[in-house]
């Protein structure tokens, strides 16, 4: 009799283990569903959890709900970076994705299989308002899947105007002119010619990434060839950027704490004039506006000087997209499409500008605000002349994950430009194979 009791207890134990596992796994299911009250539709909207994004999203939702009283939008958030990537991939593959979500365009979008998981938005009326340069970043051969979430982010060289005025320097267009300016600055001793901040490894990539508009201007086919395994970093025109990165170090132009300095230090150095140049994204300008407003007038920006030709081109990092997963259906799908369309109206643009986005924009209904910092307006010269181009990661699905570390090694003089470019090509191959691209 003693033993007959025990199997029952065993069953109870297995049952309770199953219950615990279910309560962990099954609870995820409740994330996707919203409350429904007679006739009203509730949709969920997933964004990254940065405070500025959440604030802008809440303003957007409030304005949308005011115009569409029958639709309620509930905001969900996810962590940024690779944790966010995993959230998006997991929720798409388990069918738990929010009705609308914001996520990167370009190479990261390709990694989440848009054809399989997202609703095509090619037929939406707002598509005609988008700039052509943005379309490849949110499209596959089968359709267009995303609407831009904001303005583009230019990448190039942020410079200190006071240093330039003091030495009577002109804005360089070619790499040789840039080098000559740097040598003059070095000789004068009034500022560090070039600030680098390898304490944040991602910042080391800018000399390479921001050169891409120059490469594309000289070789328009390069991105397509690169994706098809026909163009490499070890060959020109791509190799030039790696050589430049190494040359900045070998010429002795860098701040002496380049190996440990962080992004914030870089922003401060170029704002105060301690450094003359900082190869970076235009985000520096907004960081100066917030943290060192008294120096905002001293900040300017130009495109990465080119090694080919006489005119430099500004590289634009394209905005993320808003996407609708295939799991949104019926009334929710209609509401989701309505919400996405709302973000692309003139009203949506106003909200974008109010939330601190300056552009240049990829929706023609949006205009750079009159009170944008001078440095942003300066960049409009490139836009007006048509001398801009999207970043490589917006037009090719492959970006090798080791680029920050390789750029740090080449930029610190640990590794030669050739060797860095060669290792990066190997890294790119791993990524292309992982994505299952043809030709690799």
Partner 1 sequence: MTSRSARSRYPLWFLLPGGGLLVLLFVVPTATSFYFSLTRWTLFDSTFIGLENYVTFFQDPQLFGSFVHTLVYAVITSVGKVVAGLALAILLNGRIIARGYLRAVVFFPVLVSAVGVGITFKVLFDPFDGLINRALGVVGVDGPGWLTNPDLALASVAMVDIWKGVGVSTLIFMAGLVAIPRDYYESAHIDGGTDWQLFRFITLPLVGPATMTVVILNVISGLRSFELIWTMTGGGPGFTSDVLASVIYKKYQAGLYGLSTAGNVVMFVVVAAITIPLYRWFRRREVAQ
Point out which residues bind partner 1 (CB under 8 A). 3, 6-7, 10, 13-14, 82, 85, 89-90, 93, 111, 113, 116, 198, 201, 257, 259-260, 401-402, 405-406, 408-409, 412, 414-415, 423, 426, 430-431, 433-434, 436
Beta carbon nearer to partner 1, 337 or 422: 422
Give the residue with the Cβ less far from partner 1, 329 or 434.
Answer: 434
Q: Output 109 or 130, the one with its CB closest to partner 1.
A: 109
Nearer Cβ to partner 1 (111/223): 111
User: Are 182 and 251 spatial neighbours (Cβ–Cβ below 8 Å)?
Assistant: yes
List, in order, residues 6 or more apart from 170 with CB less than 8 Å away: 177, 181
Q: Which DSSP string do the residues of 376-406 spell out, in sequence order?
A: HHHHHHHHHHT-EEE-HHHH-S---TTHHHH
Toward partner 1, which CB reaches closer, 198 or 242? Answer: 198
In terms of CB distance, is 208 or 423 closer to partner 1? 423
Locate 358 and state its tokens. 């300056």
CB of 345 to partner 1, least distance (A): 35
Among 138, 142, 83, 152, CA closest to 106: 138
Strand partners, 325: 118
* Nearest-approach distance from CB 298 to partner 1, in angstroms: 24
Residue with Cβ nearer partner 1 (154 or 199) = 199
> Closest approach of Cβ 344 to partner 1, in Å?
30
Name the residue with tokens 């009799």: 1
Q: Which is nearer to partner 1, 78 or 376 (CB)?
A: 78
Closer of 64 and 424 to partner 1 (Cβ): 424
Give the C-alpha separation, 412 to 399, whole Å.
22
Question: What is the rounded distance in angstroms from the CA atom of residue 12 to the CA atom of residue 57?
Answer: 47
Task: List the structure tokens of 80.
Answer: 């940024």
Complex with partner 1: residue 86 or 236, whichever CB lies closer: 86
- What does the block give as tokens for 108? 């990261």
Peptide bond into 237 cis (omega under 30): yes
Q: Provide the minimum distance between the beta carbon of 2 and partner 1 in the complex, in angstroms, as a whole number.
A: 10
As measured in angstroms, the least distance from the Cβ of 13 to partner 1 is 6
Q: Least distance to partner 1 from the beta carbon of 46, Å?
A: 17
Q: What's the closest the beta carbon of residue 267 comes to partner 1, in angstroms? A: 17
Listed residue (326, 303, 308, 300) closest to 92, CA to CA: 326
SS3 369: coil
Smallest distance from partner 1 to CB 72, Å:
31
Write down the least CB distance from residue 44 to partner 1, Å.
21
Please tell me the distance from the alpha carbon of residue 232 to that of residue 234, in angstroms, as a whole number: 5
Q: Kindly state the smallest distance separating residue 202's Cβ from partner 1, in Å.
A: 11
- Three-class SS string for 44-86? EEEEECCHHHHHHHHHHHHHHHHHCCCEEEEEEEECCHHHHHH
Least CB distance to partner 1 at residue 174 (A): 29
* CA 240/CA 322 separation, integer angstroms: 35
Residue 221 or residue 260: which is nearer to partner 1 going by CB? 260
* String of DSSP letters for 113-171: -HHHHB---TT-GGGGGB-GGGGGGGEETTEE--EE-S--EEEEEEEEHHHHHHHT---
Angstrom distance (rounded) from CA 219 to CA 228: 15
If the CB atoms of residues 33 and 434 are measured against partner 1, the closer one turns out to be 434
Instruction: Report whether 304 contacts 279 (CB < 8 A).
Output: yes
* 55-91 CB burial, b ≥16 within 10 A, e <16: ebbeebbebbeeeeeebbbeebbbeeeeebbebbeeb
Q: How far is the CB of 32 from partner 1 (least distance, A)?
A: 18
């Amino acid at each position: 009799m003693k033993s007959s009791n025990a199997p029952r207890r065993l069953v109870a134990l297995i049952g309770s283990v199953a219950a615990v596992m279910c309560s962990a796994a099954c609870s995820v299911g409740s994330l996707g569903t919203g409350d429904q009250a007679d006739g009203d539709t509730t949709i969920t909207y997933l964004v990254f959890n940065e405070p500025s994004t959440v604030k802008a999203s809440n303003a957007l939702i409030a304005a949308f709900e005011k115009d569409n009283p029958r639709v309620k939008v509930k905001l969900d958030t996810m962590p940024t970076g690779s944790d966010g990537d995993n959230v998006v991939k997991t929720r798409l593959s388990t069918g738990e994705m929010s009705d609308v979500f914001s996520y990167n365009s370009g190479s990261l979008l390709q990694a989440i299989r848009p054809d399989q998981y997202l609703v095509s938005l090619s037929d939406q009326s707002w598509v005609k308002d988008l700039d052509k340069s943005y379309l490849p970043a949110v499209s596959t051969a089968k359709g267009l899947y995303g609407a831009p979430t904001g303005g583009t982010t230019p990448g190039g060289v942020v410079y200190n105007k006071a240093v330039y005025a003091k030495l009577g320097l002109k804005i360089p267009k070619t790499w040789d002119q840039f080098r000559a300016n740097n040598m003059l600055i070095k000789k004068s001793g009034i500022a560090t010619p070039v600030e680098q901040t390898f304490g944040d490894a991602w910042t080391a990539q800018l000399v390479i990434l921001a050169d891409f508009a120059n490469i594309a201007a000289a070789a328009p086919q390069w991105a397509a060839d690169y994706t098809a395994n026909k163009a490499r970093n070890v060959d020109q025109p791509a190799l030039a950027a790696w050589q430049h990165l190494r040359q900045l170090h070998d010429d002795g132009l860098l701040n002496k704490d380049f190996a440990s300095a962080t992004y914030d230090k870089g922003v401060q150095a170029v704002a105060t004039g301690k450094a003359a140049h900082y190869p970076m994204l235009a985000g520096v300008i907004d960081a100066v506006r917030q943290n060192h407003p008294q120096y905002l007038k001293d900040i300017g920006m130009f495109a990465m000087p080119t090694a080919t030709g006489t005119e430099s081109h500004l590289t634009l990092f394209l905005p993320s997209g808003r996407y609708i997963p295939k799991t949104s259906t019926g009334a929710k799908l209609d509401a989701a499409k309505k919400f996405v369309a709302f973000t692309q109206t003139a009203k949506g643009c106003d909200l974008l500008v109010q939330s601190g986005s300056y552009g240049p924009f990829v929706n023609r209904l949006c205009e750079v605000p009159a009170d944008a910092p001078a440095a942003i307006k300066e960049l409009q010269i490139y836009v007006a002349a048509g001398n801009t181009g999207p970043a490589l990661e917006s037009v090719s699905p492959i970006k090798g994950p080791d680029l920050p570390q390789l750029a740090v090694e080449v930029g610190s003089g640990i590794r030669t430009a050739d060797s860095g470019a060669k290792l990066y090509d190997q890294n790119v191959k791993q990524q292309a194979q992982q994505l299952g691209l043809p030709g690799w």
